[in-house]
Amino acid sequence: MQKTTKYWLIIGLIFVSINCHRSTGHIKTEEIKEDIFKLDTIALLTNKNLDYLTTEVENAELKESKSISDIPVFIFEALNNWAHDSFSIANPGEKWQVSDIVGYPYLPWRQLVYLGVGSNIMLMAYYRGGVGVSEKMVIVKYENEKIIDFWAGFTFKDPATKHEIIEVLKNYNSEIPRKIANTTFMFL
């Protein structure tokens, strides 16, 4: 491994460590379910499972939706536990907190762009407000309402359909500089 790659990986791990401390600090112990999938930090930082999950999503028949109510409850609960804030998300066209200037503290920090749910996999893209708006992509593989794999990333391309998201995912590792660790999961 090159010296600069090690340097960026160490910086990424430091950010993960700091954020994990912050993100779990507000969750009461009794709220954390024992059966929630444990995030593999190294796999997420290095996109280890991205190619596999992209192929799974591409081959899956997904029921597309524009409603957050179609996010499976067990997945929403996991996202809520992993997010550094509650995983608040608006439907497309609804008001949401776009910037870091909090004018309406009750508004969600996210807005759904795409949701596709299959028999054992979910693909979701959404906007995330704050200091600038970014688009996040999430893939969740599950079996019998239990998460077995997870990936999250960001994009500058603004994909809004399954096909567009898959094209971004297929080129993700070549378009995002290798020296930048994928820290998206820290800021779901």
Q: Which of 63-67, 134-138, 150-154 has the highest mean pLDDT?
A: 63-67
**93 vs 90: CA distance, rounded Å:** 8
The pLDDT confidence band at residue 154, using thresholds 50, 70 and 90, is confident
The two three-digit tokens of residue 158, written as one number: 């603004």
CA distance 40 to 167: 24
pLDDT score of 150: 93
**Above 70 in pLDDT, residue 18?**
no
Query: Average of pLDDT values for 85-107?
Result: 85
Residue 164's Cβ-side half-sphere holds a number of Cα atoms within 13 Å equal to 14
Residue given tokens 């791990």 in the structure block: 13
Q: Does the structure show a pLDDT above 60 at 71?
A: yes
CB neighbours (10 Å) of residue 163? 9
Report the C-alpha gap between 138 and 76 in whole angstroms.
Answer: 12
**Does 81 or 178 have the greater pLDDT score?**
81
Q: What pLDDT sits at residue 12?
A: 52
As a whole-number percent, the residues of the chain with pLDDT over 70 amount to 72
**157 or 179, which is more confident:** 157
What's the whole-model pTM score?
0.77
pLDDT at res. 8? 52
Asked whether residue 90 carries a pLDDT value surpassing 80, the answer given is yes
Instruction: Provide the token pair at 18.
Output: 């700091």
pLDDT of residue 39 exceeding 70, the answer is: yes
